[in-house]
Amino acid sequence: MSDQRLSLAIADYDRVAALADGRVAVPGAELDVRTLAPSETFYRMLNEDAFDVSEMSLSSYLIARQQGRAWTAIPVFPNRNAFHLGLYVSERSGIRRPEELRGRRVGLTEYQVTAAVWTRGVLAHDFGVDPTAVEWYVERTPELSHGGETGFRPAPGVQVHPMPSGQTLESMLVAGELDAVLPSPYPGMASRLNRTSEHDLKRIPGVRRLFADPWAEAARVYREHGFLHCNHTVVVQNRHLERDPDLALNLFRAFVEAKQLAYDDLRRLERSSLLLGGPRLDDQQEVFGDDPFPYGFAGSAKALRTLVGYSHEQGLISAKPEVEDLFATSTLDT
C-alpha cells in the first residue's frame, strides 16, 4: 500500500515538533502538518471536517461523537493542565476563594470548551460551587464558536448569557460587569474565535489570578485526583482508519516518539532565558514525575471517565459513553 498523504492540524507544542519537522515519520503515511491555534482547528473540524488528523477538544469530541461524527480518537493528549488555574478575578469583586464565586458573574470564551468543563467540575466537586449557582457570560458568538457548530443549549437551571455586542471578557471584567473570567488557555496563538488574551489580563491593574499560588493548586489536584486535566485528544477521520487498519497505532507510536524527543531536550531550559529553568524543571519532576503529559489509554482512563461524568452532569451530553468506545481498538492496550 502506498503512503497516504494526511493533513494534521495541531498547535506548536514542543511535544509534536519532531512530527512537524520530519524527524519522526508515520509508517504508511506522509503528514502535512498545519500549525494552528486549537480553537481555530476545532472550529474548522466541526464546521467543515477540514483535516484528516486533528487535535480536538475532548468536550467537543464527546458531543460530536454523540451526534454521529465519523471520527475516532487515538489516546494522545497533547495539552494538559489544571484549567481552573486560568480563572482571573477583579479586586473590586472581593473574591479571594473559589467558594466565593457563588452568585457571581463569570465570563468564558464559551460554555462547552473543555477547559470550562474541567473548571466547573472542579468548582462543583472540590469547592462546592454548582454551575447553577453562577451566572455565566460567553464571549464567542454562535456564528463563530464550537457550540454554534454542535447546537449547544444550556442545561435546565443554568444561566448562560451572550455578551453585549462589542464587549469582551477583558472589557467587562475591567468595567466591573463580570467578577471573574476564564480566558482561552492558549495565549499568544492567534484565532478568530478569541478576543481576550491571558497576556493582556496579567497587565491590568486590579486584575489577578484567583489562585495566588497556581503551582500549589496544580500539585493539590494531581495528588488528590491522580491526574492533571487532559484537554485535547487527536482524532482521525474514520475513512482513513478503514483504509489502513495500522494507521491508528502507527500514529500513536509516532506521537509518543516525538514527545520523548522533546523530553530529551528539556534540560536546555537550564541554558534558556527562563530564569531558574533547572530548578523549575526539578520541581516539576518531583511533583508530576518524568512524564507530565502521559499518552496511552490505561494511564488516562480515570481522567477520561471523570471528564465524561462532568460533561454529562453539566448537560453537554445526554448519555455517558464507555471511554473505550471513543478510541481506536488497536490503541486500547497502550
What integer pLDDT is reported at residue 1 of this predicted model? 52
Confidence at 162, pLDDT banded by 50, 70, 90: very high
Report, as an integer, the average pLDDT of 250-278.
94
Confidence at 157, pLDDT banded by 50, 70, 90: very high
Q: Specify the DSSP class assigned to residue 186.
A: -
pLDDT, tens only, 16-35: 999 999 999 999 999 999 99
pLDDT, averaged across the chain: 96
Task: Find the length of the chain.
Answer: 334
What integer pLDDT is reported at residue 190 of this predicted model? 79
Quick check: 69 and 149 in contact, CB under 8 A? no
Question: Residue 2 pLDDT more than 90?
Answer: no
Question: Residue 187 pLDDT more than 90?
Answer: no
121/315 Cα distance (integer angstroms): 12
The DSSP bridge partners found for residue 71 are 237
233/295 Cα distance (integer angstroms): 10
Chain position carrying cell 512530527: 19
pLDDT, tens only, 197-243: 899 899 999 999 999 999 999 999 999 999 999 999 999 999 999 99
Cα–Cα distances in angstroms (integers) from residue 271 to residues 266, 267, 326, in the given order = 10, 8, 41
Can you count the helices (H) and strands (E) in the chain? Answer: 12, 13
Report, as an integer, the average pLDDT of 77-96.
97
Report, as an integer, the average pLDDT of 4-10.
96
What integer pLDDT is reported at residue 321 of this predicted model? 98
SS (H, E, C) 284-322: HHHHHCCCCCCCCCHHHHHHHHHHHHHHHHCCCCCCCCC
